[in-house]
Amino acid sequence: MSTDSPKSDARPQYGPKLIADYVKRLPGKPGVYRMFDQYGTLLYVGKAKNLKKRVTAYTSYERHTTRIRRMIRATTAMEFVITESETEALILEASLIKRLKPRYNILLRDDKSFPYILVRKDHPAAQVTKHRGARKIKGDYYGPFASAGAVNRTLDTLQRAFRLRNCSDSIYESRTRPCLQYQIKRCSAPCTGEIALPDYQELIDEAESFLQGKSDSLRQKLQADMEAASKAMEYEKAAELRDRLRAIAQVLTKSGAHNVNPKTFSNADVMGMYTAGGQTCIQVYFFRAGQNWGTNSYFPRHSAEDPPEQVLGAFIAQFYSNKPIPKQVLLSHPVESYDLLVTALSERSGRKIDILIPKRGEKRKIVGQAENNAQEALGRKLAETGAQEKRLKEIQEIFGMEDMPQRIEVYDNSHIQGTHAVGAFIVAGPEGFQKRDYRTFNIKDTTITPGDDFGMMREVLQRRFARLSKDPKLEWPDLVLIDGGKGQLSAVTETLEKLGVLGRITLVAIAKGPDRNAGRETFYMNGRQMFTLPMRTPSLYYLQRLRDEAHRFAIGTHRAKRKKSMVENPLDGIDGIGPGRKKALLSHFGSAKAVKGATVDDLASVEGVSQKLAQTIHDYFHE
């Protein structure tokens, strides 16, 4: 793979002529191209079997849709990566789109990591627990599950059926008698020897057989054991085995979402797609070990002009860019570049992957069910977002914006006479509040006078937009609302002008009415006279909600910071003092104040505190 950014001393500044100038030096090789606007913001990432031919298509300006023409006009720079094959280009394209989130690409949103069930093998009595993130812990991982709820249901079944421990190692080691989990028959209590470790390991083996899909052979074994125990008149053991069989039967007959358990396949993802109103929902079912391990609804961002096969193909490429790929992917619709997609997924997984569009039988029935659920989910979403988009269009008109805002950031500060000062912003858009994007700032500038709201707002906006300018992966807001009046607006305007970004956003200050009366807010914008909105209008109510949400988030963060400071211990700031030594010092002296007043020799008399560490503690308090 190689990178290339063709250059020309007399290159046009933007648009089709600029792109035509790049084409002169492009090779007829596979690769990935990126298009940027005048601010360096990434507009689009595309792949090509032949870069020269693909990029040349953008020079035929009139042949494209209005949306793509707008993108072409905005393009002021391009970058190129030459790849060994078109397959490599597809994989790289999906990775870049997912990481950089270009404005004009089909984009998979809300792509959270999936949870797994982890059977830890780094302890004599294996722990069974939920896991997200990197697989650094020694053990066996089962999944992915569609959601935490799907994992919790399966873990609940495992506890009822096999009585496996889920406590931490520290709790396990400290137990002297069985806990409540043992009393309610959710754990066999290996911690206190209620079950021998070899017998507990047998339970672990049975649970793993269940997670691996070997439920039929497991049920036959448990049935035989139950009958043998009954014949031997070991009725308590027989009842325990009966309860285990019931728990397994319950999860097999009512597993995960929509009670679907296939007979004709065991490991597959099923994707049903439905498009309406220019939006798309893709419903994904996760089948592993012959069981349904949950379902998720996805709403990829795309233009209303994008065909379904292109949307689904882009979704699949991005979806599997960082996830394990099952043996089969069952689809409701055809996909663009089918052969290329199959090859790319097979190369990435290291084995042959089948992408199928079933026409009949059980597979078609399950795909149809996924498609129906996608239709229902999209219907609900369209009903919820219709009113939201109407509000955003009203906001566009009120503030004189060229386009409907897709991302609104609302800023506020919180402090008590300057102490524990924090700044914060919340994010809203067509999907409502985007809480994963909320951020807080600890006020760091020591030159700010305590309680100086203008100074705090300057610092927050300076840090936020300086980072936005440096990091192309971050998404810029279209509209910025700040809680305050003309003074706050002037302070923020000065800050953004120094950064050279004021022209990229619409900036509005929203001041509370007389006596902080909601409904009589005054709005301030650069270049306009201050204005108000009619009381009890939906748009005013929406703006109030945005401001109140920012205030709630800021004050909540401030309170958490203040509460944390109240329980901090002076010993926490000393290098070499961990939980054990802190406990020993407090037990010996009775309080942190007494530790502060102790001599070096007194400190050194505490178990675990050397003469050198005692001197460090003494110096910390008496510098």
Q: Is the pLDDT of residue 271 over 90?
A: yes
Residue 430 inside a domain? The answer is: yes
Q: Is the pLDDT of residue 355 over 90?
A: yes
Give the count of beta carbons closer than 10 Å to the beta carbon of residue 407: 17
| Structure tokens belonging to residue 389 | 């988009």
DSSP string, 313-374: HHHHHHHTTSS---SEEEESS--TTHHHHHHHHHHHHTS--EEE---SHHHHHHHHHHHHHH
Is residue 332 domain-shared with residue 237, that is, in the same domain? Answer: no
Q: Which residues of 97-107 are buried (b: 16+ CB within 10 A; e: fewer)?
A: bbebbbbbbbb
Q: Is the pLDDT of residue 420 over 70?
A: no
Residue 107 inside a domain? The answer is: no
CA 613 to CA 603: how far, in whole Å?
9
Sign of CA dihedral 194, 198, 203, 207: positive
Dump pLDDT digits (tens) for 16-55. 899 999 999 999 999 999 999 988 889 999 999 999 999 9
Q: Is the pLDDT of residue 293 over 70?
A: yes
Task: Point out the domain boundary residue: 518, 533, 565.
Answer: 565
Q: What integer is the mean pLDDT of 523-541?
A: 89
Say what angle helices 486-499 and 453-470 make with each other, to 10 degrees: 30
CATH assignment at residue 458? 3.30.420.340
In the sheet with 354-356, reading across from the earlier edge strand, the strands are 291-298, 279-288, 268-276, 328-331, 354-356
β-strand 408-416 against 354-356: which pairing, if any? unpaired
Residue 401 inside a domain? The answer is: no
Q: Which domain holds residue 84?
A: 2-100
Residue 575 banded pLDDT, cuts 50, 70, 90: confident
What's the pLDDT at 153? 83
Is residue 47 domain-shared with residue 75, that is, in the same domain? Answer: yes
Is residue 431 domain-shared with residue 554, that is, in the same domain? Answer: yes
DSSP state of 216: H
pTM for the whole thing? 0.70
**Residues 428 and 408 sit within 8 Å (Cβ to Cβ):** yes
Q: Is the pLDDT of residue 468 over 60?
A: yes
Q: What integer is the mean pLDDT of 195-215?
A: 85
Is residue 576 domain-shared with residue 556, that is, in the same domain? Answer: no
Is residue 558 domain-shared with residue 575, that is, in the same domain? Answer: no
Residue 110 inside a domain? The answer is: no
Task: Point out the domain boundary residue: 565, 592, 612.
Answer: 565
What's the pLDDT at 283? 95
3 state SS of 385: helix
Is residue 475 domain-shared with residue 509, that is, in the same domain? Answer: yes
**Residues 106 and 301 sit within 8 Å (Cβ to Cβ):** yes
CA 356 to CA 569: how far, in whole Å?
61
**Residues 313 and 288 sit within 8 Å (Cβ to Cβ):** no
What's the pLDDT at 9? 47
Domain count for the chain: 5
Q: Is the pLDDT of residue 80 over 90?
A: yes
- Which residue type occupies 395? I
